[in-house]
Amino acid sequence: MLDEPAGRRSPVAHTGGVSAPPDLPELVVRALRMSLHRGYVQASRTETGRLLAVLAATRTGTIAECGTGCGVGAAWLRSGAPKTTRVITAELDPELAHGVMDMFADDDIDVIHADWSDLAQHGPFSLVFLDAGSAKQFPRDRIVELVGEGGMIVLDDFTPCPSWPPLSGGRVDVLRQDWLSDERFTTVDVMVAEDTSVIIAVKR
């Protein structure tokens, strides 16, 4: 956070105050409505979603999401990706998976009821998106194998931390430290809001 005179609010330091159009993509609105209807509180945040759409806009081939939920992340990816880029998302919960399948039936998003590891048969991917909680459960080298050279791995749901090594809850955040120091990648931790950051790792 940047130092600033008392009583003055810096538009640079406070990412929550950055400019963004108020309207959301129609696909995202539909997914958010499903999240609200189901009481699903783990949907991708709008700040993260806008970043996902921008990153997806640079990708060709196939991009993937591990953990569909109610489809918010996939909706952001599809909203930004070129029409020729395939978007695939995997969800282990059968009710969620089939609900999102029905919702996106005509929207060029491939939803599969499967474990994240089943995505490998559809790769390699130019982008893989998953949250930090999932990344802790999956073997990191297996995640790395999902992308080829120049492929991008995006991990969300981190708490911003200015120190090194990064801390979370007073302890070293080993997951974030490992990704930021992995020499196979060029990696950055991007603060998208005052209380959340996203890791973007591009394979060398």
CATH number of the domain enclosing 199 = 3.40.50.150
- 152 within a domain of the structure (yes/no): yes
pTM: 0.87
Q: Give the residue numbers spanning the domain of 74.
A: 25-203
Tens digits of residue pLDDT in 151-163: 999 999 899 999 9
| Confidence (pLDDT) at 7 | 42
Helix H segments across the chain? 26-38, 46-56, 72-80, 94-103, 132-137, 140-144, 174-181
Number of domains in the chain: 1
- 3 within a domain of the structure (yes/no): no
- 182 within a domain of the structure (yes/no): yes
Tens digits of residue pLDDT in 92-109: 999 999 999 999 999 999
Show the low-confidence residues of the chain (pLDDT under 70). 1-17, 41-42, 132
